[in-house]
Structure 1
């Protein structure tokens, strides 16, 4: 481990207010806005696997530690707390939220609770808890083999969704339209799950396919009380896979105050026993009402919280810090507009030569390249999240925002070389 003292404390140490411990940070293009917001709310001490670079201006201090080693992280947290007042601990990295819950518990700090965060991270556990509490769920079954997956699909009825137990970002999630596709869907989900956390490797969930649009809700939870921030409408593509290719957030979305939806979300969080923190819940709006796809014990990815901030003025990083401190949220809308993001994918597996972005387009707020020249992008099932760029735009309403995103995305240029060699098995 390697420590580095404070940048904005006194004599190289934080002041009496102490620090928020942030475990892991993520990629700059996806997470810098959160680190900036957190640092503006409370001094931040980062646990990171390598020396900070772009993060440094936002940090009071840091510790280099293997963040994938729970024992090492816990030991480093106890050592830090022995010399610096640690007031809270948080993470927005899906793979680190269980470790974060263990650290919060060990230090006696507000947190989701180990059981609460496992109710998010372990999708099979989540299904059992929510079903037991009477929260609307798809029909589901667990399968350890392709044969068990086929039997489950025959019981549930096709089409079914086959997914890993503990992955995020829709990695390894496949729609099987009929029995003939189930075995291959199981293989994809099972193999995707084996690159994730050891606790969730092997096997797959087989679930009823839910018809209807999908949304996500980012919220703060304080002492078990659920406080929604904003709703994002999701755009899915690359079927039979479930790549998230876009999102839309509007300050005036009626679902932000829909009591049927909010009542279900409150009941779901009680069922999993989530104490303090931020959650990102994905919901399908079906003919029988809202049904939870999954609860994630972190802020949303894909810049969804940033869209929420652009649309409403609510600072998601500030909300996350306050929840980690055990404080009630203090957010209210200061902006009222419609904002969307579109992620741009290649039409085939390819090597990127260059990407060019529009500098002007109606309603364009941002455009960003996500890959370097030479990057290999592989579409599912050979790879996931094969994005080369994104555009963000605003409009008078959802339809105009979508049209402006279409126009801006059409002006993105991708120079590429096709990849003919398949990814190794």
Structure 2
């Protein structure tokens, strides 16, 4: 925003100290109170409407769209209805089904008894998931009534603010793909299609992504055509999206549509393979500005999550940072000597990521192996020790 010449007002429940240098005006406000947020913006700007309202945080997309529609002289970007259609997985599936688009069989349950009955109708195994959220939190594969009851009961005890009920849906057993798009004036451009890797069920932790995806040209066309139909069905225009799709024996099925940039470092990976920076692209869409020219791209890229199979203390040798755009991206969200948990543990998951680029898959293999050799990641077992302390990581999965 600043590079484009705009003044930045940042609003949050409590603006973090590390964000202070990035903004012109930090304001603490109850961001669950839409009217209160609108009032503090008016107090700061007076009679001048904001040039744009923007967030990259999944739960705040409806607020962003509401403020844009309420405060901006000429609202641009994501509409409030589209934000709600994507934020609420039940609304997503309902809208797509009404348009004849392929989604898993699904049911919205408000009690464990309803969920068990729905699972019997759909057929085991089934997926139980929250209506909102990201990063596969709360998503679980269930193979019997008892597992459904336990999974749904946990979701129905969710904290205030979560959407009521839990989704019970058909399990699509097949490869998964993450599709990043840029839509402007009704025309959608697919920026990247990555083959996504996750742990084996019952929980789904993202292990990484590959480009190229391994799809044939015909499959790519089918997937692109599907996304081109999905986004207008949800009302997404003049915005970006991150869509997750699985391929069943009967064809592709839409799992999630997120009206935001992807998490982790998938933005940088998309920039590398498409030449389009999704963060800059959505900023320009929010402001009503033309898109920047695409930059040079790479042929191959890989995103590998840093996960662990056992609990213990992690040790590694930090990799020095570099400003070289083609250099690997290496991030760890724990310091040497800190405790870690297995990837399937509720407090475990993803502790960092490695993103590498190259002109061939073999070059990508060599680069990733060189990074891992340099890191020398290892876990010292901590048998008999209980997990203590709070987990301060902002994200436990790739998204």
What's the TM-score once normalised by structure 1's chain length? 0.78
Give the conservation status (yes or no) of the 8 Å contact 1:49–1:64. Answer: yes
Deviations 1:146-170 (A, max 9, x none): 2222221211112211111111110
Q: CA 1:64–1:179 in 2, change beyond 3 Å: closer, same or farther?
A: closer
Aligned-residue offset at 1:382: 5.3
CA contact (8 A) 2:194 2:213 kept: no
CA distance in 1, matches of 2:167, 2:217: 29
CA distance in 1, matches of 2:47, 2:256: 39
Q: Tell me, yes or no, if structure 1 residue 347 matches structure 2 residue 347.
A: no
CA contact (8 A) 2:126 2:143 kept: yes
The Cα shift of 1:52 comes to: 5.3
Distance 1:163 1:211 in 2: 16
- Secondary structure of 1:124's counterpart equals helix
What does 1:148-187 correspond to in 2, within 5 Å?
A: 148-187=114-153
Q: Is residue 389 of structure 1 aligned with residue 352 of structure 2?
A: yes
Partners of 2:362 and 2:174 in 1: CA distance: 18
Deviation (angstroms), 1:328: 5.1
Instruction: Please give the alpha-carbon distance, in whole angstroms, between the structure 1 residues aligned to 2:21 and 2:223.
Output: 40
Correspondence for 2:90? 124
Distance 2:162 2:331 in 1: 35
Name the stretch that deviates more: 410-419 or 386-395: 410-419
Counterpart position of 1:135? 101
> Does 1:79 pair with 2:43?
yes
- 5 Å matches for 1:3-402? 38-43=1-6, 45=8, 46-51=10-15, 53-82=17-46, 86-108=50-72, 109-191=75-157, 194-195=158-159, 198-201=161-164, 203-237=165-199, 239-250=201-212, 258-327=220-289, 329-350=291-312, 352=313, 354-357=315-318, 365-372=328-335, 377-378=340-341, 383-384=346-347, 386-398=349-361, 401=364
Q: CA deviation at 1:403?
A: 6.6
- Give, in angstroms, the shift of residue 224 of structure 1: 4.1
Number of matched pairs: 380
Counterpart-to-counterpart distance in 1, 2:210 and 2:293: 20
Native 8 Å contact 1:77 1:103 kept in 2: no
- Paired with 1:252 and 1:380, the residues of 2 have a C-alpha distance of 26
- RMSD over equivalenced CA pairs, Å: 3.3
SS at match of 1:198: coil
Mark the CA change 1:168 to 1:288 in structure 2 (over 3 Å): closer, same or farther: same
SS in 1 for 2:178: strand
- Runs of 5+ in structure 1 lacking a partner? 1-37
Cα separation, 1, equivalents of 2:24 and 2:84: 30
Moved more, 291-300 or 229-238: 229-238
Distance in 1 between residues matched to 2:155 and 2:388, nearest whole Å: 18
**Which residue does the alignment assign to 1:412?**
377
Residue 234 of structure 1 aligns to a residue whose secondary structure is strand
Moved more, 289-298 or 39-48: 39-48
Could you tell me how far apart the structure 1 residues matched to 2:240 and 2:132 are? 18
- 1:126 & 1:262 partners in 2: Cα distance? 18
Task: Measure, in 1, the Cα distance between the counterparts of 2:80 and 2:102.
Answer: 24
- Alpha-carbon distance change, 43 to 253 in structure 1, aligned in 2, over 3 angstroms: farther
1:262, CA displacement in angstroms? 2.3
TM-score (norm 2): 0.82
